Chains A and B, each alone.
Chain A
Amino acid sequence: MNRDWQQTSGTVADALRIERVAKRFGAFTALDGVSLSVKKGEFLCLLGPSGCGKTTLLRIIAGLEAASDGALFMTAGESERNVTRLPASQRDYGIVFQSYALFPNLTVAQNIAYGLKGRREDKALRVTELLALIGLPGAGSKYPAQLSGGQQQRIALARALATSPSLLLLDEPLSALDARVREHLRREIKALQQKLGVTTIMVTHDQEEALTMADRVVVMNHGVVEQIGTPEDIYARPASRFVAGFVGQSNWLAATSAGVGQVLLGDALLGATVTPPRPDGHPLELFIRPEDVQLHANWSPAEAQVANTALAHVRKIELLGGFYRIALSVPGWGSQPLLADVSRGEFERLNLSPERLVPVSLPANRLRAFVPAGAASAGATA
């Protein structure tokens, strides 16, 4: 919540401003009027499925691709300048590509020093400093091919940071690595970014990566921004059906709208967050995360009073490591399948078994209603 306040205060200068940037390849629109601004020192993630335009946007920011329309502004020192038509070399950023693009015939030290100017001793000093920073001291005389993927990735990062650019661009920097290394590097990159305070934009299709690393996440789809917000915003309060579906696990239940803040699910009236309000009888899709579905040990009068509660059949119980995933169906709510995640401790307390009926409630503040995907184009933007 603290972060939300910071963002709206507007006291922090924007390191980068993107205004209605569009990119068309012939008849295909890769980006359709994207606007966003990046605060100084912020870690911003561009998240979306492949082909959503996130990489195109990064390449436009880098000056590797020209925007068909719109403008880009970068802050250098105190003044903001329009960089829309400036070549890459005049934009002041460092970049790490998915392939790392390390020069294979140069040593690690030569790679890191590639963009450095000045005296030889100063360069050597800076390289030593950077190698220590990325935790690979003494690797300077090796060639890239002699290093592991994770090490190469860090060298590429050091090379991008060597000239102390005001902006760091990361193009899916972790996707070529295996899962364990990836998780470790996630933390390292984030820690490094915080230590240096360098404004960073990372492109990724991995939601976990975006949620764990970013200060703010930009979710993109079909060349437009679906939502910009903190990881918490994106996960808990998705602004569109796409975001809700793309990030995390979710239940989807077909329902219809019925008055302000209410929906009709099966035969029951439930309280839900319906934004924007819809006329009665409008088809809706209810969204709730499995971990937000609450199960109760027994059907006491107290539980019966809780809103949005009904009895459910337990259909299937799956152990997924740290928690159980329970498949339910609620006859009173139209018997649509419903998943609930419960911790191991909770599971023992509930004493669940496939034969039992269990009271289940869907907290109204976690139950969000969206217009179904098919009808979305007509309704969502209205």
Chain B
Amino acid sequence: MIALRARARARIAPERSQYAAAGLLWALAAALVVFLALPLAAILGKALSGDDGHFAGLAQFVAIAGGERFWSAVSNSLAVSVTTTLIVLPLAYVFAAALTRTRMPAKPLFRALALIPLLAPSLLPGIALVYLFGNQGVLKGWFPDGSIYGFSGIVIAEVFFTFPHALMILVTALSVADARLYEAATALGAGRIRRFLTVTLPAARYGLISSALVVFTLVIVDFGAPKVIGGQYNVLAVEAYKQVIGQQNFPKGAVIGVLLLLPAVLGFVIDHLLQKRQRALLTARAQPLVVKPNVWVDGLGVLACTLIGAAMLLILGTAVAAAFIKLWPYNLTPTLAHFDFDNMDGGGWAAFFNSVKLALATALFGTLTVFGGAYLAEKTPVAPVARQLVRMLAILPMAVPGLVLGLGYIFFFNDPANPLHFLYGSMTVLVLCSIAHFYTTANLTATTALKQLDAEFEAVAASLKVPFWTTLWRVTLPVCLPAMLDIARFYFVSAMCTVSAVIFLYTPDTVLASVAVLNMDDAGDTAAAAAMATLIVAVSALVCLVFSLTAWWLGRKTQAWRTR
């Protein structure tokens, strides 16, 4: 009691403007609890309850562990995830090394090529593979007897899907290098291989581990690719989907969801611990490495990047081509017939416009929420409990696969006893779920941008008796504008492509483009699915272009201070 009172006395009365900040912080903390923590609690609760809805402890886990079907799904999931990781990592490493450690030409082009998969849902590579190596595929000889449907198909699709994620981490890891270490190694007589083993690899090892964890997690929780190209090859993510959507067996779906949460959380924790050590690795006195031109190395870089980039383009190009071709591979006349979505099952053009609506709303409200939250958590001294809560909840979505979040949303919002039940099935819940799903990455971008601002801006403003929102409007927002555009673009593209969380939440009125791809493919309209996937890529690419131009234009108008 005494200690409490002493602490209360030792506080400075908040400025009036700060009451507003405290209110907003608590509102955000509450929103994150309701739209993130509680759905996750709901999935745990559901996993621990029996078929009758009462608490049953681990009975569901025991029941599911008895099934042979479950164990084959587990081993299939692990096999696919490990194989994909083992293939993606060397490829992404070579690509990243070529981008950062050679003087090869056309780096921006290669970089853009490698990031293409980010613009597409994970269903797209699956569809492309059907056209390339499937029963009617042009190259079906490469995978005879439909062997593309299953393990190999899933792995190739996942390699395409996860490549840019691994690449981005490795590029970051490889772009920081201490030239002094290389000079020291060379002076001590170390050759190329020894330098690679003793200098390059140790510096990049955290990046390698981190990207391996990301790839593994992405693959094990993804169900887009296995749904399309997996055939009879059953994996955990698809199993969860089938249990919930197909058989309405919610507890069983919840149990698989909880199990899928495990590798994600584990990877997240390992990554977090490693990042702490990574920071200590780089010293402020490091000299940047200047790469010298080398015909052989640069040539090899171009060759490797061309091969990988060509494979990316082949997959994307196949899907796009299939969308415009009458009947692959028999009748190659161009047609727009596959875009006549309204005469097909899956949701029609409404699905496409719903997706655009969802993406716009997510980009707008997501950016505002994330940036506002990061700002309040970083830059205001009020409501320490709420600030801590916001920070903790903000990193949670990184460890939660979309599939799990989606399941949590059904369990939570579909409960008639929930006062928020009215949200179920609405566009609003899709927007909220998408904002929550991609919160961590967006929040990281915002926090990084905010941390680059002098910590004393707010103190100076207070001494000049200027309320915090004036500084926010006149200084913080203009300086962080590029980061905000980045967040908005990220939210738009992610909301456009996502399948995993929203697949459980859409209704006939709110069906989305990515869901339509899945449904049309299910119904056998593969060409229409390809057409819709193509549209998604086109819109994502267009929006990226628009954002880049906006950023460039705004940069010229408002960022003049950055040039000396």
Contacts and interface: CB of A to CB of B under 8 A. Distances in A.
Interface of A: 62-64, 66-69, 85-91, 93-95, 97, 99, 101, 103-106, 114-115, 143-146, 159-160, 162-163, 165, 169
A106 B466 CA distance: 15
A103 B10 contact: no
A346 B60 CA distance: 97
B561 A105 contact: yes
Contact of B15 (A89, A99, A143): A89
B478 interface: yes
A105 B465 contact: no
Contacts of B459: 62, 64, 88, 95, 97, 101
B457 A63 contact: no
B510 to A, nearest CB: 41
B464 A115 contact: yes
Interface in B448-470: 454, 456-457, 459-467
B141 interface: no
Given A89-B467, A159-B460, 12 more contacts: A62-B459, A85-B11, A85-B12, A85-B13, A88-B463, A89-B466, A90-B465, A94-B464, A97-B456, A105-B475, A143-B561, A159-B464
19 contacts: A62-B463, A64-B462, A89-B462, A89-B463, A89-B466, A90-B15, A93-B463, A101-B454, A104-B561, A104-B562, A105-B558, A105-B559, A115-B463, A115-B465, A143-B561, A145-B561, A145-B562, A145-B564, A160-B463
Closest 9 CB pairs of A and B: A115-B464, A88-B462, A101-B456, A143-B561, A87-B15, A101-B454, A97-B456, A66-B12, A103-B475
B457 A101 contact: yes
Given A66-B12, A68-B10, A105 B479 contact: yes
A66 B561 contact: no
Contacts of B462: 63-64, 87-89
B13 A69 contact: no
A233 B27 CA distance: 57
A69 B11 CA distance: 10
B292 interface: no
A170 B290 CA distance: 41
Listed residue (A66, A69, A99) with the most chain B CB atoms within 10 angstroms of its CB: A66
A316 B288 CA distance: 45
B474 interface: yes
Nearest to A165: B463
B457 A114 contact: no
B462 to A, nearest CB: 4
Listed residue (B10, B463, B475, B561) with the most chain A CB atoms within 10 angstroms of its CB: B463
Contact of A105 (B463, B467, B478): B478
B334 interface: no
Contacts of A86: 12-13
B187 interface: no
B63 interface: no
Contacts of A93: 463
Contacts of B465: 89-90, 115, 163
Contacts of A144: 561
A169 B463 CA distance: 10
B57 interface: no
A162 B461 CA distance: 13
A272 to B, nearest CB: 45
B14 interface: yes
A162 B463 CA distance: 11
Interface string B1-31: 0000010001111110010000000000000
B417 interface: no
Nearest to A88: B462
A62 B463 CA distance: 8
Contacts of B457: 101, 103
A87 B460 contact: no
B560 interface: yes
A105 B473 CA distance: 12
Contacts of A103: 457, 474-475
Contacts of A101: 454, 456-457, 459-460
Contacts of B560: 143
A163 B13 contact: no
Contacts of B461: 114
B13 A87 contact: yes
A234 B404 CA distance: 68
A146 B459 CA distance: 24
Listed residue (A87, A99, A169) with the most chain B CB atoms within 10 angstroms of its CB: A87
A372 to B, nearest CB: 37
A63 B456 contact: no
A29 B355 CA distance: 57
A150 B461 CA distance: 22
Interface string B482-514: 000000000000000000000000000000000
Nearest to B7: A68
Nearest to B12: A66
A66 to B, nearest CB: 5
Nearest to A163: B464
Contacts of B466: 89, 114-115
Nearest to A23: B10
Contacts of B6: 68
B6 to A, nearest CB: 8
A114 B465 CA distance: 10
Contacts of A165: 463
A66 B454 contact: no
A95 B13 contact: no
B10 A66 contact: yes
Nearest to B475: A103
Nearest to B468: A89
B463 A69 contact: no
A64 B559 CA distance: 30
Contacts of A106: 474-475, 561
Contacts of B559: 105
Contacts of A160: 463
Contact of B12 (A63, A114, A159, A162): A63
Interface in B530-564: 558-562, 564
Given A95-B463, A105-B475, A106-B474, A88 B15 contact: yes
Contacts of A64: 459, 462
Given A105-B479, A105-B558, A106-B475, A94 B463 contact: yes
Contacts of A89: 15, 462-463, 465-467
Listed residue (B464, B474, B558) with the most chain A CB atoms within 10 angstroms of its CB: B464
A82 to B, nearest CB: 12
Nearest to B453: A104
Nearest to A171: B456
Interface in B518-540: none
A213 B224 CA distance: 71
A306 to B, nearest CB: 54
Given A105-B561, A115-B464, A145-B564, A87 B478 contact: no
B354 to A, nearest CB: 38
A167 to B, nearest CB: 10
Contacts of A99: 454, 456
Contacts of A146: 564
A269 to B, nearest CB: 54
Listed residue (A62, A64, A93, A103) with the most chain B CB atoms within 10 angstroms of its CB: A103
Contacts of B14: 87
Contacts of A163: 464-465
B478 A97 contact: no
Nearest to B457: A101
A114 B460 CA distance: 10
Contacts of B13: 85-87
A67 B464 contact: no
A73 B15 CA distance: 19
A87 B18 CA distance: 10
Nearest to A66: B12
Contacts of A162: 464
Listed residue (A101, A145, A163) with the most chain B CB atoms within 10 angstroms of its CB: A101
A114 B473 CA distance: 13
Nearest to B559: A105
